[in-house]
Copies of this chain bind each other. A is one copy, B any other.
Amino acid sequence: MTGALVSTCELCAHQATPAWSLVFQGPLLRVVRVLDAPEFPAFYRVIWQAHVAEMSDLLAADRQHLMDTVNTVEGVLRTSLQPTKINLAAFGNMVPHLHWHVIARFDWDSHFPQPVWGTAQRTPVPAAVDRLIAPLVEVDARIVAALTA
């Protein structure tokens, strides 16, 4: 199921923007790393290429492919960064184009244990990106390797 693109949808129109970098490009989905939330440096999105709103709009095989990809990204984040917790979410309230947030959370991060959409709890010093135990470009490369293995 590929489906149409919608020119007014920012996820259809842009493969990469200053807000995120393209990590992996596939026929059915892509993986990007979010750049505009520096307090959560290990914040990835898995974006379905076709403009559908809900998981239940997908065929079962496509749904499984998407969740397998989310799971692969989760696995790389866990092994690379040893986060306190992984957070997964698919909202689409603002942009009703199916995408998953996959976020490595740490007990020292600005919002933990609140969701990243909740209330800040603290200001980490040093900054979040300087606390990660692996460079994000290396995490990106491991995601690509895992998705193309």
Contact = CB atoms under 8 A, between A and B. Distances in A.
Contact of A115 (B64, B71, B93, B105): B93
Nearest to A54: B86
A63 B71 contact: yes
Size range of the chain A interface in the assembly: 20 to 34
Prevailing SS type, chain A contact patch: mixed
A92 interface: yes
| A55, A71, A86, A93 pick with most chain B CB within 10 angstroms | A93
A88 interface: yes
Interface string A8-47: 0000000000000000000000000000000000000000
14 contacts: A54-B86, A56-B74, A64-B64, A67-B67, A85-B92, A87-B90, A87-B93, A88-B90, A89-B89, A91-B115, A93-B112, A93-B114, A117-B117, A117-B118
